[in-house]
Amino acid sequence: MKLSRKWLSEFVAVDANDKDFAEAMTLSGSKVETTEDLGAEIKNVVVGRIRKMERHPDSDHMWVCRVDAGKNEAVQIVTGAWNIHEGDLVPTALHKALLPGGKKIEKGKLRGVLSDGMLCSLSELGLDERDFPYAVIEAAALLNDYKPIDPSKPSIPADAAPGHKIFGSVRAALVTRVESLEDGRFTVYCNAGEATHTVTTSLANIHEHDMLALDVEKEHICTLADLHAEQREFPHCIPDGIFVLHEDCRPGDDIKPVINADDHVVEFEITPNRPDCLSIIGLAREASATFDTPLTLHEPVVRGGADGVLAELLDVETPDPELCPRYTARMVRNVKIGPSPKWMRERLRSMGVRPINNIVDITNYVMLEYGQPMHAFDYRYVKGGKIVVRRAKEGEELTTLDGNVRKLTPNMLVIADETRAVGLAGIMGGENSEIVDDTVDVVFESANFDGTCIRKAALALGMRTEASAKFEKGLDPLNTLPAVNRACELVELLGAGQVVDGVIDVLNYVPQPRTITMDPARVNALLGTDIQAADMYQYLERVEIHTENHDFPNGPAQVSIPSWRGDVERMADLAEEVARFYGYNNIPITLQRGETTQGGYTPVQQAERRLGSLCRACGYSEIITYSFISPACYDKIGWAPDEPLRNSLKILNPLGEDTSIMRTTTLPSMLDILARNYSYRNKDVRLYEIGRVYLPGGPDGLANEPRMLTLGAYGEGYDFFTLKGAVEAILRDLRIENVTFMACQDDPSYHPGRCAGVYAGEKLLGVMGQIHPAVAANYDVDCELYCAELSFDALMEAQGSGAVYQPLPRFPAVTRDIAVVCKEEVTVGALEACIRRAGGKLLRDVVLFDIYRGQGVAEGSKSVAFSMTLRADDRSITAAEADEEVKDILTALEQELGASLR
């Protein structure tokens, strides 16, 4: 919400600079986003009157002007603009002037002629045509500016004399005199050879001695478009130039008030509970309370007296009273549509609203001032003089003011006449009743509609407007009458029409003053303050929450809540009002008291932290990925079409397909990140994520959200066993026992020969291995990717108990190394398990130390070497004992696995 401080000052006098104003308002609850001094960048620019213009002696397009800038002596300024004339009032940047964008003006010479400043265009003042619609410049095609595209073949000869035929009835014409008219147009006298012509035109670049292209039959001066000419053929006949002022100002006046650059605009963030602050008056109330200065509101006075009796002209019906608590309307006759005056346009512009015409501008002005959306209908299109506020019929159509055809439903409220809808209630008017240039009679609507109904309709139609945004927050129904009267008052003030006496006011609710109990002791108890009761009542008084008789009792009392403060409902709300003006920053600072609580992490949270630090110790870095993925991800990781885990929670209104379902696997997220790093040419990447998956079928229709530990890596020398080492380290740290890795050939995301299920006993903890090359290729990765997916819950369940000390060995161990030859298919795991089974009590450890294939070992076989540690707890064992044990082991290897000593 923007606020013009000039406009604000009509209601409350605040003597504070922008910074102090913003700070005070922010601290009392109206958060200021930005402040803007509209004239901060303009200095030393005044109104000047062009006294004399001469062509530059050394230029074919520049003018030397003598400008009266309110000083004793005229200022000489050189300009290249062609739209000015002697007598014009123009913005004049004097020597050492400052213009928007940080542009500095210094005196200097232009082609040898002194220029003591600069005449300014609209854009040089930071303005555009919306600020001053009359400043639009149209240019005539001046033949003396003509530069043929092909110099050898000019369309018009350089020496064309007056009367030279250009085409059809268009002749060259020499300007003999130009007179400026009051309305900004010009009377041009010219000689077209056989006759002289006098033409009134808005084309602004014509001066004595210029040669025109004149359509002698239509008495029309040709533009570039008329000649089908390109701009480069007439390089100086451009629709741009100096901003010629048609304002009430005199030479020497500061330009800022003339162009409203003396205003300051403050932008607020208004919270949804305070729709009353979406208005000048609402913010004035807050400013008055904040600075504790009086608020001066204006009571609209309408003279009225137009012909006709309102009750006969207009009838209003509200068949759905619950959706329209109040409908207030007045009528204006003999309307003269035209632009609104400068002061009104400036105010609208400073608040970011585009001026349109006087009647529409009045409705916008009142909406800004009172916060009450208004609408103006053209009465002649309200058939039967009847306004019906009803639900739309199913499929009913209405073309709204923005030109779009809207298909309506009975959930939407329309303003209709006897036969058809003429507006979408609280959102936008209909094209069929729009105020147009020849509108004569106008109906002003100032109504209160049900917020939810307006919100839903606006949402369904995708057309949230300024009005609907206000209605949906819930407006004060008591505001409709003052607003409509203000609109009528403005009509009279602007002389835009005559107001019909009387008001149509349909009240579908009973306005009741609301009172609640104020208890200063309880407010202090909630805030932790020690504020005097009388002070509290005084703070409340500032926002017009009154006690009866306006006294300040020393205890609880009934207080009345103003109609525009629907957000104040109970004690806590009053506490906030008190705190706002007592100052949040004056509330003391205390540490919590009361019963102490033991804070901390749950065992699961602790385990999650430990798991994270363990992964980092293993060299893996943490990533955070989105919980939602694309359904195509399941294809990318190779899942079968009937994979049950494809059943995912679907977001019905996703941002896009890529983030439309809740992941049931973390693998695509990890692969995405690996692939991204790979594409960035990052070498040796090791990552982990502890993140949730979302499985349908949780309690209350929610999801089960188990966590997964996902590892992912690639890089030089990184292989299956690097990953397995990390997984083993993690499992070891969690003291998980009976860990086995079983080859897994049927996980479609993984290399069928390089994938293992990870088990603790019978319990599956997860899967790990090399990503299937085809899956990697789906991610545009052509190196080996490795991933492990471990269930966090399974890890927690399999977690071993705490450490228990085992006595250190007191007797020496004997080591024995064996190498056995076996078939390729026999796994190291099988060999090791066999050794452990066959070894007696003395066998304490078995470690693989070599696998050999090649010379000396038959094709299809391999030699596997283990180092075994044998030890007794109560004595030193002998070599013979150790050999005996090894013999048993070798026998078992031979018999069970056909592995013989090499």
Distance CA 174, CA 171 (A): 10
**Residues of this chain, 703-722, that bind other proteins according to CB under 8 A:** 703, 705
**Residues of this chain, 23-82, that bind other proteins according to CB under 8 A:** 26-29, 31
> Any bridge partners for residue 69, and if so which?
none
**Residues of this chain, 547-576, that bind other proteins according to CB under 8 A:** 567, 570-573, 575-576
Nearer of residues 600 and 854 to other proteins, judged by Cβ: 600
Q: How far is the CB of 290 from other proteins (least distance, A)?
A: 11
Q: How far is the CB of 677 from other proteins (least distance, A)?
A: 5
Does residue 495 touch other proteins according to CB under 8 A? no
Nearer of residues 117 and 282 to other proteins, judged by Cβ: 282
632-658 burial, b at 16+ Cβ within 10 Å, e below that, comes to: ebbebbbbeeeeeeeebbeeeeeeeee
Does residue 589 touch other proteins according to CB under 8 A? yes
Does residue 666 touch other proteins according to CB under 8 A? no
Number of other CB atoms surrounding residue 137 within 10 Å: 21
Nearer of residues 668 and 839 to other proteins, judged by Cβ: 668
Q: How far is the CB of 450 from other proteins (least distance, A)?
A: 10
Does residue 685 touch other proteins according to CB under 8 A? yes
Q: Which of 31, 39, 45, 43 is nearest to 6 (CA)?
A: 39
Distance CA 783, CA 787 (A): 13
Alpha carbon distance, N-terminus to C-terminus of the chain: 89
Site stretch for other proteins (CB under 8 A), options 90-98, 182-190, 246-254, 684-692: 684-692
Q: What sign does the CA torsion over 106, 109, 111, 113 have?
A: positive
Q: Which residue has the tokens 């007296």?
A: 305
> Any bridge partners for residue 73, and if so which?
none
Q: How far is the CB of 590 from other proteins (least distance, A)?
A: 4
3-state secondary structure of 787: strand
Q: How far is the CB of 721 from other proteins (least distance, A)?
A: 16
Q: How far is the CB of 850 from other proteins (least distance, A)?
A: 24
Q: CA-CA distances (angstroms) from residue 601 to 593, 608, 610, 818?
A: 22, 10, 12, 49
Dihedral, CA of residue 794, residue 798, residue 802 and residue 804, to nearest 10: -160
Nearer of residues 110 and 649 to other proteins, judged by Cβ: 649
**Residues of this chain, 520-549, that bind other proteins according to CB under 8 A:** 525-529
DSSP state of 340: P
Site stretch for other proteins (CB under 8 A), options 10-18, 70-78, 193-201, 700-708: 700-708
**Residues of this chain, 242-271, that bind other proteins according to CB under 8 A:** 271
Site stretch for other proteins (CB under 8 A), options 69-77, 198-206, 687-695, 851-859: 687-695
Q: Which of 625, 695, 704, 702 is nearest to 658 (CA)?
A: 625
Q: How far is the CB of 611 from other proteins (least distance, A)?
A: 12
Q: Which of 897, 891, 804 is nearest to 840 (CA)?
A: 891
Does residue 347 touch other proteins according to CB under 8 A? no
List the one residue from 180, 508, 547, 659 that touches other proteins (CB under 8 A). 659
**Residues of this chain, 428-487, that bind other proteins according to CB under 8 A:** 451-452, 455, 459, 472
**Residues of this chain, 296-325, that bind other proteins according to CB under 8 A:** none
**Looking at beta carbons, which pairs linking 633-637 to residues 24 or more positions away fall under 8 Å?**
633/663, 633/668, 634/665, 634/668, 636/668, 636/671, 636/775, 636/778, 636/779, 637/665, 637/667, 637/668, 637/671, 637/748, 637/749, 637/775, 637/778
List the one residue from 225, 311, 405, 655 that touches other proteins (CB under 8 A). 655
List the one residue from 40, 158, 702, 743 that touches other proteins (CB under 8 A). 702
Q: Which two tokens stand for residue 304?
A: 């009225």
Site string for other proteins, 611-650 (x = CB under 8 A): -x--xxxxxxxxxxxxxx--------------------xx
Q: How far is the CB of 547 from other proteins (least distance, A)?
A: 20
Dihedral, CA of residue 44, residue 45, residue 46 and residue 50, to nearest 10: 130
Distance CA 656, CA 668 (A): 17
Distance CA 370, CA 446 (A): 11
Nearer of residues 365 and 581 to other proteins, judged by Cβ: 581
**Residues of this chain, 5-34, that bind other proteins according to CB under 8 A:** 26-29, 31
List the one residue from 96, 165, 609, 837 that touches other proteins (CB under 8 A). 609
Q: Residues in contact with other proteins, total (CB under 8 A)?
A: 90
Q: Which of 784, 741, 786 is nearest to 766 (CA)?
A: 741
Q: Which residue has the tokens 């009005």?
A: 467
List the one residue from 601, 640, 697, 748 that touches other proteins (CB under 8 A). 601
List the one residue from 662, 708, 727, 893 that touches other proteins (CB under 8 A). 662
